[in-house]
Amino acid sequence: MIAMMRFVIPALIGLFACSGGSNAVRSDEGQEPSEHVAPVTDPVADDQWSRLTEDQWKERLTDEEYDVLREEGTERPFTGEFHDHHANGTYVCAACGQPLYQSSTKFDSGTGWPSFYEAIDGKVETEVDRTLGMVRTEVHCSRCGGHLGHVFPDGPEPTGMRHCINSVSLDFTPE
Ligand SMILES: [Zn+2]
């Protein structure tokens, strides 16, 4: 009997672990009947970015960009284009081109991801992220909803915040 319990209990734990979490359906999908919405065409108007379908995003983005921007993936640290990038200019959303961060707010966090203590006013939004057994603050582009990274309260002055951003989610416009 004890031997049987040893087998059954880990199996049950495995079942529960697999049933939750990362594959949850996004709550913002499917709210508008697509047959009544005009298709989004290029150039995309400012208020149309949030209406692009996932198929349209797949056409616009590389596989790596899609994984991070649309599926909230994370690039490996010290592999991105901008973690050790020091030019003056503006970092823009790789998905829609909206300016997000000024180089003057970038700092070396030592994490291997580009880090900023402040976003350009109104250009990013945050929400609570409870995946991976942690409670974190997810940050995304306010125009297209593209996932950028996470915000942590351990950054430098003057804000004390650290916006930990994937290079893949950014493009750079030099001054
Ligand atoms: Zn964007």
pLDDT at 25: 45
pLDDT over 70 (residue 29):
no
Kindly give the distance from the C-alpha atom of residue 141 to the centroid of ligand 1, in angstroms, as a whole number: 5
In the reported structure, the alpha carbon of residue 5 is separated from the centroid of ligand 1 by a whole-number distance in angstroms of: 51
Catalytic residue among 93, 96, 144, 164: 164
* pLDDT value, residue 63: 97
Say how far apart CA 63 and CA 25 lie, in whole Å: 20
Query: Residue ranges per domain, the chain?
Result: 86-175
- Is the CB of residue 100 less than 8 Å from the CB of residue 148? yes
Record the tokens describing residue 7, joined without a space.
């087998």
- Ligand 1 center to 117 CA (angstroms): 19
**How far is residue 50's CA from residue 152's CA, in Å, rounded to a whole number?**
26
- Residue 75 pLDDT > 90: yes
User: Is the preceding omega at residue 158 within 30 degrees of 0, hence cis?
Assistant: yes
Would you call 18 a catalytic residue per the annotation? Answer: no
The per-residue pLDDT for 11 is 42
pLDDT computed for residue 85 by the predictor = 98
Give the pLDDT mean for 112-141.
97
CATH class of the domain comprising 86-175: mainly beta
The Å distance, Cα 84 to ligand 1 centre, comes to 22
pLDDT band at 37 (very low <50, low <70, confident <90, very high): low
Q: Is the pLDDT of residue 54 over 50?
A: yes
The pTM for the full model equals: 0.78
pLDDT at residue 5, as a whole number: 46
CA 82, 74, 92, 157 dihedral sign is: negative
pLDDT at residue 38, rounded to an integer:
74
What pLDDT, on the 0 to 100 scale, is given for residue 41? 85
